Amino acid sequence: GEQVEQRPPHLSVREGDSAIIICTYTDSATAYFSWYKQEAGAGLQLLMSVLSNVDRKEEQGLTVLLNKKDKRLSLNLTAAHPGDSAVYFCAVTYQGGRALIFGTGTTVSVSP
């Protein structure tokens, strides 16, 4: 089945810096890619999603890049602020898949 690896597991940055999280997946049939944010004690919140025909998407200080050749998905938090401190998960599913497969999560800490 699909395997999703996410790195790094922990990331500490200063306010205003960028933070990059990378996920790699194994199934070339993967068709839908998402990033979720989980704040302490809360459920996951969808940040952004892209279809497999999209290489790059930017929204509100977030950039998602998809490299299908390398089976790599990345999330770039530009100009991070303390409110971005949370655990971030990538998630993928393939065409006809019935459930999202999540990465292992990255704990991001943004210090003032």
- The tokens describing 87, both together, are 């655990």
Identify which of residues 15 and 39 has a Cβ nearer to another protein in the complex. Answer: 39
Backbone angles phi, psi at 82, to 5 degrees: -55, -30
Task: Please say which residue, 26 or 111, places its beta carbon nearer to another protein.
Answer: 26
Contact 11, 107 (CB under 8 A): yes
Q: Is 3 in the site for another protein (CB under 8 A)?
A: no
Kindly state whether residue 43 participates in binding another protein, applying the rule CB under 8 A. yes
Least distance CB 76 / another protein (angstroms): 21
Tokens found for residue 11: 């990331």
